Structure 1
Amino acid sequence: MSTAVRPSAFTEPDRPKNLQIRFMTTGGSFVDVTGHGEHFDNNSWNCLGCGDASRSPERDGLWRIRPDANTHATACRAIPLK
């Protein structure tokens, strides 16, 4: 019997303003990358499962935030609680 969480078991939350990318975590939650896009340095990520977020620097270019958000989504096993 498989204990893996199926992504279809959870409903996608509303999309925030300035959503650039949304990654699904291993646990079935989501990591949102928000900001003004590729040519701006005000992008950040936030995990809707465990609550972790981008840091140091808090906001950065999309090219720098994207891999960090994807790495977190790959490792995070928190499930959505709402």
Structure 2
Amino acid sequence: MTTTVRTSAFTEPDRPKNLQIRYLNQVGAHVDVTGSGEHAENNRWKCHGCKDTSRSPETDWLFWMREKASAHASACRAIPLT
């Protein structure tokens, strides 16, 4: 039995100092969740492939961001162009 580890085909973007979580989308582009952490309202996600981002800054608690960023990464097939 072989265990395969999926790696990104793209250069990893710089890690911001407030990076909480980093996902890979379907083709290896990075989706970052940044902010102050679990009990903060300033958490955001951003896709480095399609450039989509979270839209509700007043309710961006980390437990919501995990779910939203993971769902986006699972569906997105955009590659980073820069």
TM-score normalised per structure 1: 0.83
Note the residue ranges of structure 1 that are not aligned, 5 or more in a row. Answer: 1-5
CA RMSD of aligned residues (A): 1.5
**Identity of matched residues, %:** 62
String of CA shifts for 1:9-62, please: whole Å, max 9, x gaps.
22211101200000000021011000000011110100010010001x225110
Ranges in structure 2 where 5+ consecutive residues have no aligned partner: 1-5
1:29 aligns with 2:29: yes
Code of the residue aligned with 1:65 in structure 2: it is M
Moved >6 Å (runs of 4+)? none
Number of residue pairs the alignment of both structures matches: 76
Report the Cα distance in structure 2 between the residues aligned to 1:49 and 1:78, rounded to whole angstroms: 5
Q: TM-score, normalised by structure 2?
A: 0.83
